[in-house]
Amino acid sequence: MRQVAVDSLEFFKSHWTAWRVLGVAHLRVRSWRNLYLAYSILMNLLVTLCYPLHLGMSLLRNPNLTEDILNLTTFATCSACSAKCLLYAYNIKDVLEMERLLRLLDERVVGQEQRAIYGQVRVQLRNVLYIFIGIYMPCALFAELSFLFKEERGLMYPAWFPFDWLHSTRNYYIANVYQIAGVSFQLLQNYVSDCFPAVVLCLISAHIKMLYKRFEQVGVDPGENAEKELEACITDHKRIIELFRRVEAFISLPMLIQFTVTALNVCIGIAALVFFVSEPMARMYFIFYSLAMPLQIFPSCYFGTDNEYWFGRLHYAAFSCNWHAQSRSFKRKMMLFVELSLRKSTAVAGGMMRIHLDTFFSTLKGAYSLFTIIIRMRK
SS3 content of the chain, % helix, strand, coil (to 5): 80, 0, 20
Angle CA 11–15–21, to nearest 5: 150
* Cα-only R_g, the chain: 24
Tell me the residue type at 279: E
Quick check: 209 pLDDT over 70?
yes
pTM equals 0.90
The pLDDT-based confidence of 147 (bands split at 50, 70, 90) is: low
Q: Nearest CA to 289 among 196, 190, 201, 365? A: 190
Residue 197 half-sphere exposure toward CB, CA atoms < 13 A? 32
pLDDT of residue 1: 43
Contact between 113 and 213 (Cβ < 8 Å): yes
157-205 pLDDT, tens per residue?
888 999 888 888 899 889 989 998 998 899 899 889 989 999 999 999 9
Q: What is the pLDDT of residues 50-82, one digit of tens each?
A: 999 999 998 878 777 777 887 888 898 899 999
Mean pLDDT of the chain: 87
